[in-house]
C-alpha cells in the first residue's frame, strides 16, 4: 500500500529548554490486534509492575508519572491467554519528543501471535563472547567483568535481553569463543583469538538461551586443549550445542531436542577451513569446527530430515562488515533449505545483513553482534529474531532491534531503532522480502496467494485514501543550518519524492557514523556510551538539549584546552566521500574549536595509531559567546587511500574568561551517499544511500526562510 507523508521543513531558533522537575502524568497508548487484524481485548499490559487491560477495540492506555529531567525507558509486557507473550521497549524521548506539551505517547499497532498445537516460538541472537575489553577496557572505561565477581558481572551483561530470550520456547546464539577457566595454552597462528570464562555459559542459560552453535572461526582458537576444555564445560552446562567436536564426525553431528512435542535438529557450520595448519575445521586428525562445505551441509541436513526432524541450520561465513552475503554463503544456505532444512541463520560479518523469504522459508544472512566488544559504531546495531514454526513450516518472524551499548546488548530505542530497522528493511527489500511494523518491531509473514490478492485490493483503495492517510512532520533547522535529521520518519517506508519550491536549492542524503549522537540514551540500561571520548573529570550530562532532553557539558578553563570526539577508529567507512561534522554548541563565553581527523594506516597497530598518527586539521573556527544554541557544520572529505580506519576529534580552547561550560548536542558525522540534486525522485545508486538519516541542502534558500512549506517529502 502506498502511503504519502508530507514533511514540512521550517526554520526555528534553538534555545534552552525549560527544566521540568515536577512530576507529570502522561499516557502511553496503543492498539493490540491478532494476525487477522482483529482487535484483541483483555490483553494485560504491564509496565513497572502496574497492569492495565485492553478494551473491546484492542486499545490500551498506560498512565505514568515521571520527572521530565530523567532519561526514562519504558518496557511493556503484553500477555493474553492462548497467545505468545511479547516484550517491547521504548524511550520517553521517542514517544514524547515531537511536541513539548504532548501527553500521549502513541505506539504503532502491535500484533500478538496465537498459540496452537506444535506452534513453536524460536529466538536467535548473533555472535557472543566475553573476553578482551570486558576485562581490560580501553581509555579508562569501566571494567565489566571482575575476576572476583565473574558470574554476577556476566549476568549483568545479559540482564537487558533476558526478558526477550526467556519468553521464547527455544533460544539460540552463536558462541564465538572457546571456554576455559584459564588461558588454554598455545594459540592458533592467527591475529585474533578468544577464550571466555565458564561463567558465560551460566549467564546465557540464566538469560534464557537454550543452545549455542560452535560452527565458527573462533571455536578452535587454542587448538586441541581449548577444544577439549570448551566441550567439557558445555557438557557440564544446561546448554545444548553442536557445530564442533574432537573429530569431523563429532563436529557434524546435530544437537537433537524436543520442543512442544516436535523433534528438532540443530546444525552449525563454519564456511571455510582456514589457511594455517592445523585448520580450524575438524578432520580425522584433530578437532575443530564443522566445515560447511556444500557436501557436508547437504549430507548432514538430509540425514536429519530423513528422520522427520525439523532441521535448523546455522552457518558462519561471508565477508566482515559487508552489506550482502557472498555468493557461496547464499548458495549453501539455499541448498540447505532445498534439501529440507526449515530455517537458515547466518553470522560472521559482525554487521546485520538482510533477510529473505526463499520458497517461504526464512534466511537471516547475518545476525550481527549479540554480546561482543567491538568498539566501532557499525558493529553495535543488531537484532533478536523470533521465528514461529508450525511443525517446521514458516509461520511468522519478528525482529527486535538491538543496540550493543557499552558491549551490553540492549533494546534499541530512538535513533538506534531507526538505524537497525532502516538497514534491515532496505537490505531485505532487495531480496523481495517485506518487513512491516508491529509496535517498535519488524514483522515478516509468508507469501501466499491470498495476501497477494489482498495487496492489489489495498493498492486500489489507497488511491482514494491518500489525503486521509497523509501525515505531516516538521524538520527543524537551526539558524544558519543546512542539515535536518530524518530519524523520526517511518523506518519501514522509503523516501519517494522530495519537492523543492526553489529550483536553485539542491539536496543530498546521508548517514550518521556516530552512535548515541543525540545523548538522549547516553546512560540508559545502566551502560554509558563508550563510542565518544572526553575528559571524564570535566564532563557532565544536562537535562536540556538543542533538540531533546539531554546534552553533554565540558567544563573549560583558560589554561588547558580539552579534546573530545569519536573514541574508536571507523573501520567501516566509504573512502573519498563528502562528509559533514554537525554539532550544536552552547557557551556564554567565546571558544575556539579546532577540527581534526586522525587515520590508522592499513597495517598500523591500533594503539600506535592513537599515539603516533598525525592529527590532520580540517578547520578552525571561533564560536562566539551566546546564551542560545549555535549550529556548526564543517565539511571535509573522508581519506582516499592508505587508511583502514579514521576518527574525528575536536579541540576546544577557551578564549574568553577563565572558566566556562561548553554544552554539546547532536554531535553527528554525516557520510553523504547522494550527490546534490533537485530531482523530485531521490537517486538511490547504492544500498547505503537507501538508509538516509540526514537531508542536507546546498544552501539556505530565501524562499525557505520566508515560506515554511519550502520542502515537501513523500514516502512509500
Given this model, what pLDDT does residue 473 score? 57
Backbone phi and psi for residue 174, each to the nearest 5 degrees, phi listed first:
-95, 110
Are 64 and 28 in contact, with CB atoms under 8 Å apart? yes
CATH topology of domain 119-439: Purple Acid Phosphatase; chain A, domain 2 (3.60.21)
Strand partners, 694: 485, 510
**Residue 440, phi then psi, degrees to nearest 5:** -95, 10
Note the pLDDT of residue 456: 27
| pTM of the entire predicted model | 0.93
Q: Where in the chain is the domain with CATH 3.60.21.10?
A: 119-439
pLDDT at 706: 35
Residue 139: per-residue pLDDT: 86
pLDDT computed for residue 680 by the predictor = 86
Q: Which helix (H) or strand (E) holds 426?
A: helix 414-429
Contacts of 660 (CB under 8 A, 6+ apart): 555, 556, 587, 588, 589, 591, 654
pLDDT at 503: 74
Strand partners, 59: 31
Instruction: Please give the DSSP secondary-structure letter assigned to residue 536.
Output: G
Over residues 215-263, the pLDDT tens digits come to 999 999 999 999 999 999 999 999 999 999 999 999 999 999 999 999 9
Identify the pLDDT of residue 713: 61
For the stretch 540-567, pLDDT in tens is 999 999 988 899 999 999 989 999 999 9
Residues 6+ apart with CB under 8 A from 298: 335, 336, 339
**Looking at the chain, how many residues does it have?**
716
SS3 336: helix
Strand order in the sheet with 343-347: 255-259, 262-270, 310-316, 343-347, 361-364, 355-358
Name the helix (H) or strand (E) containing 466.
helix 466-469
Q: For helices 150-158 and 199-206, what crossing angle results, to 10°?
A: 40
Tell me what percent of the residues of the chain surpass a pLDDT of 90.
78
* Cell numbers describing residue 161: 535481553
What's the grid cell of residue 686?
547504492
Nearest C-alpha neighbor of 598 from the set 623, 553, 563, 562: 563
- Which pLDDT score, from 0 to 100, does residue 53 have? 98
DSSP 115: P
- Other residues' Cβ atoms within 10 Å of the Cβ of residue 35: 14
Low-confidence ranges of the chain (pLDDT < 50): 1-22, 68-69, 99-100, 449-470, 703-710
For residue 99, the model assigns a pLDDT of 44
The string of DSSP letters for 3-46 reads: --EEEEEEE----PPPPP-SEEEEEEEEEEE-TTS-B--S-EEE
Domain with CATH 2.60.120.260 in the chain: 512-672
CATH 2.60.40.1120 at 23-99, yes or no: yes
Among 379, 476, 467, residue whose Cα is nearest residue 126: 379
The top-level CATH class assigned to 512-672 is mainly beta
Amino acid at each position: 500500500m502506498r502511503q504519502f507523508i508530507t514533511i514540512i521543513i521550517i526554520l526555528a531558533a534553538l534555545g534552552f529548554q525549560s527544566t521540568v522537575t515536577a512530576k507529570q502524568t502522561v499516557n502511553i497508548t496503543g492498539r493490540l490486534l491478532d494476525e487477522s487484524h482483529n482487535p484483541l481485548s483483555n490483553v494485560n499490559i504491564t509496565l513497572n509492575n502496574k497492569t492495565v487491560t485492553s478494551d473491546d477495540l484492542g486499545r490500551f492506555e498506560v498512565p505514568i508519572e515521571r520527572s521530565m529531567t530523567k532519561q526514562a525507558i519504558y518496557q511493556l509486557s503484553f500477555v493474553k491467554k492462548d497467545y505468545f507473550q511479547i516484550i517491547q521497549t521504548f524511550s520517553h524521548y521517542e514517544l514524547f519528543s515531537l511536541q513539548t506539551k504532548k501527553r500521549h505517547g502513541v505506539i504503532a499497532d502491535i500484533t500478538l501471535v496465537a498459540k496452537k498445537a506444535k506452534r513453536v516460538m524460536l529466538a536467535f541472537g548473533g555472535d557472543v563472547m566475553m573476553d578482551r575489553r570486558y576485562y581490560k577496557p580501553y581509555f579508562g572505561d569501566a571494567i565489566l567483568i571482575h575476576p572476583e565477581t565473574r558470574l554476577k558481572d556476566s549476568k549483568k551483561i545479559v540482564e537487558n535481553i533476558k526478558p526477550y530470550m526467556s519468553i521464547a520456547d527455544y533460544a539460540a546464539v552463536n558462541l564465538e569463543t572457546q571456554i576455559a577457566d584459564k588461558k588454554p595454552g598455545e594459540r592458533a597462528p592467527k591475529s585474533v583469538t578468544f577464550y571466555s570464562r565458564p561463567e558465560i555459559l551460566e549467564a546465557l542459560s540464566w538469560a534464557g538461551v537454550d543452545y549455542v552453535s560452535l560452527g565458527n572461526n573462533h571455536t578452535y582458537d587454542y587448538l586441541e586443549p581449548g577444544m577439549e576444555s570448551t566441550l567439557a564445560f558445555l557438557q557440564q552446562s544446561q546448554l545444548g550445542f553442536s557445530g564442533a567436536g574432537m573429530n569431523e564426525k563429532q563436529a557434524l553431528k546435530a544437537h537433537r531436542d524436543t520442543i512442544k512435542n516436535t523433534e528438532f535438529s540443530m546444525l552449525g557450520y563454519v564456511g571455510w577451513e582456514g589457511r594455517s595448519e592445523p585448520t580450524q575445521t575438524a578432520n580425522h586428525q584433530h578437532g575443530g569446527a564443522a566445515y560447511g562445505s556444500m557436501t557436508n551441509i547437504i549430507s548432514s541436513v538430509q540425514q536429519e530430515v530423513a528422520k522427520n526432524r525439523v532441521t535448523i541450520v546455522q552457518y558462519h561465513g561471508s565477508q566482515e562488515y559487508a552489506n550482502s552475503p557472498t555468493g557461496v554463503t547464499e548458495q549453501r544456505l539455499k541448498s540447505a533449505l532445498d534439501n529440507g532444512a526449515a530455517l537458515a541463520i547466518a553470522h560472521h560479518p559482525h554487521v546485520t545483513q538482510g533477510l529473505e523469504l526463499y520458497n517461504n522459508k526464512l534466511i537471516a544472512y547475518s545476525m550481527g553482534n549479540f554480546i561482543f566488544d567491538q568498539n566501532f559504531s557499525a558493529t553495535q546495531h543488531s537484532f533478536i529474531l523470533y521465528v514461529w514454526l508450525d511443525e517446521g513450516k514458516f509461520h511468522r518472524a519478528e525482529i527486535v532491534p538491538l543496540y550493543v551499548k557499552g558491549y551490553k546488548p540492549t533494546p534499541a530505542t530512538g535513533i538506534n531503532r531507526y538505524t537497525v530497522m532502516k538497514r534491515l528493511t532496505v537490505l531485505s527489500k532487495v531480496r523481495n522480502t517485506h518487513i512491516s511494523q508491529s509496535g517498535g518491531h519488524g514483522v515478516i509473514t509468508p507469501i501466499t496467494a491470498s495476501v497477494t490478492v489482498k495487496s492489489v485490493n489495498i493498492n486500489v483503495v489507497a488511491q482514494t485514501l491518500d489525503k486521509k492517510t497523509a501525515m505531516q512532520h516538521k524538520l527543524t533547522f537551526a539558524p544558519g543550518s543546512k542539515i535536518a535529521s530524518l530519524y523520526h520518519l517511518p523506518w519501514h517506508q522509503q523516501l519517494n519524492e522530495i519537492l523543492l519550491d526553489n529550483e536553485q536549492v539542491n539536496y543530498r542524503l546521508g548517514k550518521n557514523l556516530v552512535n548515541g549522537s543525540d545523548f538522549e540514551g547516553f546512560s540508559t540500561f545502566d551502560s554509558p556510551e563508550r563510542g565518544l571520548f572526553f575528559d571524564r573529570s570535566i564532563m557532565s550530562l544536562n537535562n536540556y538539549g538543542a533538540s531533546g532532553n539531554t546534552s553533554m557539558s565540558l567544563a573549560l578553563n583558560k589554561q588547558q584546552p580539552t579534546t573530545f570526539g569519536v573514541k574508536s577508529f571507523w573501520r567501516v567507512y566509504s573512502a573519498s566521500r563528502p562528509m559533514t561534522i554537525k554539532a550544536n554548541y552552547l557557551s556564554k563565553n567565546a571558544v575556539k574549536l579546532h577540527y581534526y581527523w586522525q587515520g590508522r594506516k592499513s597495517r598500523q597497530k591500533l594503539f600506535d595509531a592513537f599515539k603516533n598518527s598525525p592529527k590532520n586539521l580540517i578547520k578552525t573556527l571561533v564560536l562566539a559567546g551566546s546564551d542560545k544554541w549555535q549550529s556548526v557544520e564543517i565539511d571535509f572529505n573522508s581519506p582516499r587511500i592508505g587508511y583502514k580506519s579514521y576518527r574525528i576529534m575536536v579541540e576546544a580552547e577557551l578564549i574568553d574568561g577563565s572558566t566556562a561550560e561548553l554544552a554539546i548536542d547532536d554531535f553527528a558525522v554525516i557520510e553523504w551517499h547522494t550527490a546534490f540534486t533537485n530531482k523530485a525522485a531521490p537517486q538511490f545508486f547504492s544500498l547505503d544511500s537507501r538508509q538516509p538519516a540526514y537531508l542536507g541542502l546546498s544552501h539556505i534558500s530565501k524562499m525557505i526562510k520566508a515560506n515554511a512549506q519550502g520542502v515537501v517529502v513523500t514516502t512509500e
